[in-house]
Amino acid sequence: MSHIDQKKIRNFCIIAHIDHGKSTLADRIIEKTGLLTSREMQAQVLDNMDLERERGITIKAQAVRTVYQAQDGEEYIFNLIDTPGHVDFNYEVSRSLAACEGAILVVDAAQGVEAQTLANVYLAMDHDLEVMPVINKIDLPSAQPERVINEIEDVIGIEAQDAPLISAKTGINIDQVLEQIVAKIPAPDGDPDAPLQALIFDSIYDPYKGVIIFCRIKNGCVKKGTKIRMMATGAQEEVVEVGIFGAGQFLPCDELSAGMVGYITASLKNVKDTQVGDTVTDAAHPAAEPLAGYKKVNPMVYCGLYPADGAKYPDLRDALEKLQLNDAALQFEPETSVALGFGFRCGFLGLLHLEIIQERLEREYNLDLVTTAPGVVYRVYKNNGEQLELTNPSNLPDPSEIAYMEEPFVAAEIMVAKEYVGPIMQLCQERRGIYISMEYMEETRALLKYELPLNEIIYDFFDVLKSRSRGYASFDYEMKEYRQSKLVKLDILINREEVDALSFIVHADGAYERGRKMCEKLKEEIPRHLFEIPIQAAIGSKVIARETVKAMRKDVLAKCYGGDITRKRKLLEKQKEGKKRMRQIGNVEIPQKAFMSVLKLDNE
């Protein structure tokens, strides 16, 4: 049978630092290839979730297929595969890259090469991708294309003299980009007649179609009726539909063959069965080996999510289950807290992942949430030889049973403008960082390498980094290893009652400082009551910090306005409603936001 001519296919992705114009360039490519009219274009076609648009980042890898009429008179199929841009989603980036033969590297003509750009370029090179540089934003007055071209050649070590100088925003020189895609990015190879091997680079759950697998066919072909098997998870189903990606829509086709990028639906009910990086094969004629690179992704950051209104617990569970259908990296299991009632301990790839899930729960599912302090997974080694993976501080065994504990460390790379090297090194020092190296990438910028405990960077490291460098720093990290560490559990007592939801694990050296700040913050957040409330931070039975919320002096309405009882009633109702939104610990009412405000202790 005749397959699509592989020579006319170009599979590529776009790599860029945040704000360097990846999505805008994607829009231009889609527009210029004529698949959509300008009128149909939304501002950013690839980012179709509201959340993505607002945050300006791309969360889930997606793909779009367009048809380009090249100057040689031939029609080429472009498969543009979008990649997430944040370190939390590194693994997904890597899978997206594996589905391509080339990558367009977008560099801002004013900003030059950023740390994250580097990280992704190296990732692309690891996958043997052809990297094709493009200099964007040349319409800016501050653009210095010559300097940036030299920088690309010096820092990254790839040829950049013929890089198109473009403005994705105004559309300048986009044609050059399209021609270079045809000329520079290799066509896929792969044997259409070999056993099926398709790399899953993303999957989403659709209520009507079930799981939709986004994949790149490396070898063989797949069509409706093929019985497919996921080589890692073993899930097996018959294919219901295959197709390609229009802009923002699925276009069914007869078959997907080697070299093509498209989707498969097979009435699979769970995204967990179709994990990113897994290989799809034909159950009847399976490939001998899966494609390289599948790795189970494990959550790095855990926190408790509780419904603000206890009655919404089942709703929260439903929402988490639905989100998990689209996000195999999200994990959760039920837990209870004395302070917060029924909720879930949830695992995330990183803090951004956590924030995105939290926002989606609040926005898409209308849930009001209380989040406990995020923590990492600690390893607890007990005297009796048992080993424990600790995700919830409340489950820490009695200190007398613990031989020692380990915490995860990451290898971090920070690219920073020269003048901010001092403050950033100081920040890393404060966060128990271990200095590894510093090299100047060029005169004005340095690359700092540190090893940092993950629990020191999951709170607000990125925010502080940005503020101390006036935004001139970028940050990337990867998991390194578990190391033994002097860790203690810090408990918070409010009116002499321990509040489990506020307990957390901290390095012994930082415990006093942290405890003091927690108490200060809680003092601000807890409203005055009719009695005095002591707030204490304690390690075991030893109190290390204390604050007091003074008793309320006055809460009286001087004048009850004429006959306007309704007004008085509303005032009291508001007061009562405010009380309802608080959590009762003993006889103290704690506002929901107190639980979250303690996450941001460093007000810089």
Residues lying near another protein in the complex (CB under 8 A) are found at 530-531, 552-560, 562-566, 568-569, 571-573, 575-576, 579
Query: In the complex, what is the shortest distance from the CB of residue 306 to another protein, in angstroms, rounded to a whole number?
Result: 23
CB of 20 to another protein, least distance (A): 43
Minimum CB separation of residue 496 from another protein in Å reads 18
User: What value, to the nearest 5°, has the Cα angle with vertex 133 and ends 418 and 69?
Assistant: 155
CB 551 → another protein: shortest distance, Å?
9
Kindly state the smallest distance separating residue 387's Cβ from another protein, in Å. 48
Contact between 89 and 349 (Cβ < 8 Å):
yes
Nearer to another protein, 385 or 563 (CB): 563
The span from the CA of 441 to the CA of 438, in Å, is: 9
| Closer of 296 and 574 to another protein (Cβ) | 574
CA distance to 240, 458, 489, 494, 511, per residue, from 503 (Å): 50, 16, 7, 12, 12
CB-nearer residue toward another protein: 227 or 568: 568
Report whether 296 contacts 328 (CB < 8 A): no
Nearer residue to another protein within complex by CB, 1 or 530: 530
Q: Report the residue number, 39 or 553, with the smaller CB distance to another protein.
A: 553
Distance CA 240, CA 211 (A): 11
**Which amino acid is located at 467 in the chain?**
S
- Residue 324 · residue 272 · CB < 8 Å: yes
Exposed (0-12), middle (13-18) or buried (19+): which is 53, by Cβ within 10 Å?
middle
- Residue 387: count of CB within 10 angstroms of its CB: 10
Cβ closer to another protein: 404 or 531? 531
Rounded Cα distance between 377 and 303, Å, is: 10
Q: How far is the CB of 555 from another protein (least distance, A)?
A: 4
Residue 421 to residues 412, 444, 458, 473: CA-CA distances in angstroms? 15, 10, 21, 9
Pair 397, 382: CB distance under 8 Å: yes
Neighbours of 307 (CB within 10 A): 23
Least spacing, CB of residue 557 vs another protein, in Å = 6
In whole angstroms, give the CA distance from residue 104 to residue 172.
Answer: 16
Select 542 or 576, whichever has its Cβ closest to another protein.
Answer: 576
Q: How far is the CB of 341 from another protein (least distance, A)?
A: 20
Q: Which residue, 207 or 562, is less far from another protein as judged by CB?
A: 562
